[in-house]
Amino acid sequence: MTNMAIDIAEGMAYLHNKRLIHRDIACRNCLVGRDRVVKIGDFGLTREAKSNSPDGYYRFTRNCELPIRWMSPEAVQFGIFSVKSDLWSYGIVLYEMITFGVFPYEGLCDVEVVERVKRMEFSITDFLPIAAKDTPVYVLFRSIPSKLTFLFLRTFTWSIHSLPNTPHFLLELPVSNVVLQ
């Protein structure tokens, strides 16, 4: 699973190096090929980042259906998409992966998701499925609760400008030796 996450990060790095913002990074848009190599697909929402901005962003200006549960706070609130909003979506993809496909923010309607994402009022463990309550992932998240809450991010580290501009740092993570059969 770690290699799959790295494949997605490499695909994001490729897109971002081309100044493209995917805007819909989600497990449903990842294709698994031979040897479990994962490729990013569905480029229907992909846009080119503005070149006159150092961070490069795309401002959404028309009505259409958007993947609310995968969108970053600045995308939800202001319609601003960037490499950083794709990185937020990647975090949701990792959630999908560790929960084996649980729908993000399970149990909330889209309006509730929008309000909570805008205010960042929940912990990641609030939305783990009941079956995950006794798993090592849940125990890990609960053992460091203040570091893995959105309130913590907003209060102490939340600044869109302090987030990395590319997912390259993800490629330096150690690779697990767990093999899927």
What pLDDT sits at residue 77? 86
How many percent of the chain have pLDDT more than 70?
59
- Mean pLDDT estimate for the chain: 74
Residue scoring higher pLDDT (20 or 178): 20
Of the candidates 138, 125, 136, 119, the one whose C-alpha atom is nearest the C-alpha of residue 176 is 136
Lowest mean pLDDT among 69-73, 116-120, 159-163: 159-163
CB contact at 8 A, 122 and 150: yes
Q: Which of 7, 24, 55, 110 is catalytic?
A: 24
pLDDT at position 10 over 90: yes
pLDDT at position 169 over 90: no
Per-residue pLDDT band for 8 (boundaries 50, 70, 90) equals: very high
Is 55 noted as a catalytic residue in this protein?
no
pLDDT at position 145 over 60: no
What pLDDT sits at residue 124? 61
Which domains, ranges and CATH numbers included, belong to the chain? Answer: 2-163 (1.10.510.10)
pLDDT at position 22 over 70: yes
What pLDDT sits at residue 121? 72
How far, CA to CA in Å, does 47 sit from each of 22, 39, 172? 7, 18, 27
What pLDDT sits at residue 179? 41
Residue scoring higher pLDDT (131 or 31): 31
Of the candidates 36, 38, 40, the one whose C-alpha atom is nearest the C-alpha of residue 178 is 36
CB contact at 8 A, 25 and 86: yes
**Strand, helix or coil for residue 88:** helix
pLDDT at position 151 over 90: no
Average pLDDT rounded to a whole number, residues 95-104:
85
Lowest mean pLDDT among 6-15, 23-32, 46-55, 136-145: 136-145
- Token pair, residue 30, equals 């990842």
